[in-house]
């Protein structure tokens, strides 16, 4: 295979996501839970800059505590670059610079966004020329949320969350995000969900191994009406996340009190996503939260997936 090194560096931007709906079914033999989810990509981005190098390396900026992001093969972006190099039989390396904005271990798929961005950036830097379908296939091998970060927009994820189908979403949805300084481990939250289900008398393996997203969620997205969507946003992991972080419930209630239509924990948390009726309503909610000392971010969705920007 021949490679045309056309440029010195490639800059790719990839979005974080909110799970507008997240249904969790039973656990498969491989340990993964069956999921039916709706992802929405939102305007909080990871930037990944790839530069030619003989070896593979990563630098990270934008995090308060550098120790929270591994710089070795545990980093999803590093794994993405190496997977692409192997698949393309490319024998050089890459220096990846990751500028993070998505909170680490925040339930917003920041690591997955980095991996998707690294795939797109290295593909362009090395002149690999893989098709979107081939990149999607590599993304699915890296993690359930990575294909969505490539894809962006609004999409239904089934299977382990990695079988994606685009969902029609009209207009724009405004979200206020309340992030937490301390992340939450995704496996811990799933483990808590299994424990809560067992305590409820349902064996962790009992819930269905195949799930669908309820029709009203899809209708609400199609309508573009945030009030309608507010009636159907839902997260099966929320109870488990609140078990780990009870204060998140207060945050959701404060957001609703300040004018949000509804609030949920995003993915495995601890980020709280508050759905608002308009950009103005979102600003109002932010002001109300600030009165309680809660900093927040105003984002909107859906936005595009991983894209080269320079």
Q: Catalytic site residues?
A: 17, 145
Residue with tokens 């966004």: 113
Q: How does 49-75 read in b/e, with b if 16+ C-beta sit within 10 Å? A: bbbeeeebbbebeebeeeeebeeeeeb
Q: Residue 145 interacts with ligand ATP (CB under 6 A)?
A: yes
Q: Residue 77 interacts with ligand ATP (CB under 6 A)?
A: yes
Q: State in angstroms the smallest separation of the CB of 57 from ligand ATP.
A: 13
Q: Which is nearer to ligand ATP, 46 or 123 (CB)?
A: 46
Q: Hey, which residues between 97 and 116 contact ligand ATP (CB under 6 A)? A: 104-112, 114
Q: Residue 146 interacts with ligand ATP (CB under 6 A)?
A: no
Alpha helices in the chain (DSSP H): 76-88, 110-126, 132-142, 146-151, 186-199, 215-223, 226-230, 238-244, 247-257, 279-290
Answer for which of 10, 44, 69, 276 binds ligand ATP (CB under 6 A) is 69
Q: Which stretch binds ligand ATP (CB under 6 A): 67-75, 194-202, 220-228, 281-289?
A: 67-75
Answer for which of 53, 54, 66, 74 binds ligand ATP (CB under 6 A) is 74
**3-state DSSP percent of the chain in helix, strand and coil, to 5:** 35, 30, 35
Q: Which is nearer to ligand ATP, 112 or 262 (CB)?
A: 112
Q: Residue 186 interacts with ligand ATP (CB under 6 A)?
A: yes
Spatial contact of 5 and 125, defined as CB atoms under 8 Å apart = yes
Nearest to 149, CA basis, from 117, 171, 107: 117
Answer for which of 53, 65, 66, 70 binds ligand ATP (CB under 6 A) is 70
Q: What is the CA radius of gyration of the chain?
A: 19
What's the residue count for the chain? 310
* Chain contacts with ligand ATP (rule: CB under 6 A): 68-70, 74-77, 104-112, 114, 145, 183, 186, 267-268
């Amino acid at each position: 295979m021949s490679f045309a090194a056309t440029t010195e560096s490639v800059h790719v931007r990839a979005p974080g996501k909110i799970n507008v709906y997240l249904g969790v079914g039973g656990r498969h033999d491989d340990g993964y839970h069956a999921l039916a989810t709706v992802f929405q990509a939102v305007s909080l981005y990871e930037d990944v800059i790839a530069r030619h190098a003989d070896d593979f390396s990563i630098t990270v900026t934008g995090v308060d505590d550098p120790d929270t992001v591994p710089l070795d093969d545990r980093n999803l972006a590093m794994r993405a670059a190496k997977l692409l190099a192997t698949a393309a039989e490319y024998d050089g390396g890459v220096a990846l610079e990751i500028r993070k904005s998505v909170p680490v271990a925040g339930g917003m798929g920041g690591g997955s966004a980095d991996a998707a961005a690294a795939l797109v950036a290295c593909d362009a830097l090395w002149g690999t020329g893989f098709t979107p379908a081939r990149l999607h296939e590599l993304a699915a091998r890296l993690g359930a949320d990575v294909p969505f970060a490539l894809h962006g927009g609004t999409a239904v994820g089934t299977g382990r969350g990695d079988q994606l189908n685009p969902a029609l979403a009209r207009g724009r949805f405004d979200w206020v995000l309340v992030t937490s300084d301390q992340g939450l481990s995704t496996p811990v939250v799933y483990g808590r969900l299994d424990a809560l289900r067992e305590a409820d008398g349902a064996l962790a393996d009992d819930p269905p191994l195949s799930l669908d997203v309820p029709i009203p969620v899809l209708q609400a997205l199609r309508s573009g009406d945030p009030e309608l969507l507010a009636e159907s946003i839902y997260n099966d992991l929320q109870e488990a996340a609140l078990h780990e972080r009870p204060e998140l419930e207060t945050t959701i209630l404060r957001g609703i009190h300040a004018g949000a239509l509804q609030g949920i924990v995003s993915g495995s948390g601890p980020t709280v996503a508050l759905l608002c009726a308009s950009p103005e309503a979102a600003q109002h909610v932010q002001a109300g939260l600030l009165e309680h000392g809660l900093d927040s971010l105003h984002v909107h969705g859906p936005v595009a997936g991983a894209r080269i920007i320079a």
